Amino acid sequence: MISCQKSTFSLDPAVHYLNCAYMSPLSKRVEEAGIAAVRGKRSPNYVTPEDFFSTPLRVKQSFAHMIDGDAGRVALFPSVSYGIATVANNLHLKSGQSIVLLHEQFPSNVYSWMKLAARSKADVRTVHRPQADSLAEVHAAWNEAIIDAIDASTAVVAVPIVHWADGTLFDLKAIREKTRAVGAALIIDGTQSIGALPFSVSDIAPDALITAGYKWLFGPYSCALGWMGPRFDAGEPIEENWINRKGSELFSGLVDYEPDYQPGASRYDVGEKSNFIIMPMLQAAMEQVNGWTPEGIQEYTTSLMAPFEDRIRAAGYEMAPKHTRGAHLFGIRLPGGQSVETVKASLATNNVSVSVRGSAIRIAPHVYNDEEDVVALVDALEQASLA
Ligand SMILES: Cc1ncc(COP(=O)(O)O)c(C=O)c1O
C-alpha cells in the first residue's frame, strides 16, 4: 500500500485538511514545476515552436493513461463548463426529446443543458434524490430512478460518477446500457472522481467525459480535460484558434489559412492551450497521481478511515456503506436534531477542514492525510454530538 504522502506536500501543520473535493493542495513537486515554468518566461528566446505542442501532448497522454483511453481523443479545456458547452453545442435535439440530469448536480453540468433544451424545445428531466431511511436505500432507489427516467424520448444523459455533495456512486454500467438501448448520448462529469476512483473509458464507453484539473488531478486552477468519443469526431469547437488548425506546427505558414482542424479531439482544445505555466504543473501533477494510481488512493483512504467508522456511527452519525460511495469522498449524515452550526463550530475548534452541505458533512481524504487528521475529525464529531 502507498505510504502517507504528507511530507511531499506543504500543508499547514495546524490544519487537518480533509477537503480534496474542494481543491487539492499543491504538492512540492507541482510547486517546483510551477516555479520553473514562471522562470521560463524570463528568456522567451528558449521557447521553441515545438514547446507549444509537446507539454499539452504529454498532459493528454497522462490523462489517457489515467482513464484507459487514447490520447488522440483528449481535449484541453479551461473549465468543466467549457467542456460541457463544447459537447452540448454539438448535440442536435428535436422538440419533445429529454435531457436527463440529477438532483442538485453541479451547475457547470446543468446550465448548458438548460440552454440546449430551451433552444431545441426539449425537456430537462431531473431525477430527484429519493427520501429513504438509510443512505444505502437512497443509493439503490436513486440508481433505479435514473434508469427509469431514461426512455425513448431521451437524447442525452449528463451525470457525474459520484455526486459532488455526498459521494453517492452512480451505476454507470447500467446507465450506459440503458442509454445505448434508447440511442441517447452519455456525457459524464468526472470532476469528483477521475484520478481518485478507477474509471475506464474503454469499459464504459461514454460519449464524452469531462474533468476539472484542480481537484483529484492535483493541477492548478483553470484547467480541465475531456475525452471525446466518436460522436464528436467532426464537431465544431467553441472558438476558432490558430493552433487547432491542421499544420499549425509550421509557424511560417500560419497565414496560409487552413480549413481543416488538427486530427482527433484537438479541434476542441482551448486557445493558448500551450499555457506555459499551467501545463507543466498539470503534467507534473498527473504523473504523481498516476504513480499513486486511483486503486492505490482508494486502498489508502479506505484503510485510513476504517478504524474510525464505528466511533463515528456510535456518536450517532450515519456513514453510507462502502459499495454506495467512493472511499475518497463521502457524506456523513447528522443525527436527527443535531444542529449543523454546532458541528461546524466543533470542526473549527479542532482545526478540521471539510465541507458542510445541508445536513451532511462532506469528507474527502487523500494520501497526504494521516491518522491524526482522522482523530481530529472524529473528536470534533463526538464533541458536537455531546454538546
Ligand atoms: C462535479 C463538479 N463539476 C465541475 C466543477 C467545476 O466546474 P468548473 O470547472 O466549470 O468551474 C466542480 C467544482 O466543484 C464540481 O464539483
Domains of the chain: 6-26+293-386 (3.90.1150.10), 44-291 (3.40.640.10)
Structure pTM?
A: 0.97
Burial class (CB in 10 A: 0-12, 13-18, 19+), 13: exposed
Using only C-alpha atoms, the chain has a radius of gyration, in whole angstroms, of 22
The pLDDT, as a whole number, for residue 298 is: 98
CA distance linking residue 146 with residue 159, whole number of Å: 10
- Which residue's alpha carbon is nearest to atom 7 within ligand 1? 80
Q: For ligand 1, what atom is nearest to the CA of residue 22? A: 14
What is the distance in A from the centroid of ligand 1 to the CA of 215?
9
In tens digits, the chain (387 residues) has pLDDT values of: 999 999 999 999 999 999 999 999 999 999 999 999 999 999 999 999 999 999 999 999 999 999 999 999 999 999 999 999 999 999 999 999 999 999 999 999 999 999 999 999 999 999 999 999 889 999 999 999 999 999 999 999 999 999 999 899 999 999 999 999 999 999 999 999 999 999 999 999 999 999 999 999 999 999 999 999 999 999 999 999 999 999 999 999 999 999 999 999 999 999 999 999 999 999 999 999 999 999 999 999 999 999 999 999 999 999 999 999 999 999 999 988 888 999 999 999 999 999 987 778 999 999 999 999 999 999 999 999 998
- Which residue's alpha carbon is nearest to atom 14 within ligand 1? 22
Q: For a ligand 1 pocket test, name from 24, 110, 164, 166 the mutation site with the most ligand atoms within 8 angstroms of its C-beta.
A: 164
What is the distance in A from the centroid of ligand 1 to the CA of 338?
29
What is the distance in A from the centroid of ligand 1 to the CA of 199?
18
CA distance linking residue 94 with residue 140, whole number of Å: 32
The pLDDT, as a whole number, for residue 358 is: 75
What is the distance in A from the centroid of ligand 1 to the CA of 259?
33
Residue 99 identity (one-letter amino acid) = I
Q: For a ligand 1 pocket test, name from 19, 79, 80 the mutation site with the most ligand atoms within 8 angstroms of its C-beta.
A: 80
Contact 209, 230 (CB under 8 A): no
| Ligand 1 contact, 160 CB (< 6 A) | yes
| Ligand 1 contact, 81 CB (< 6 A) | yes
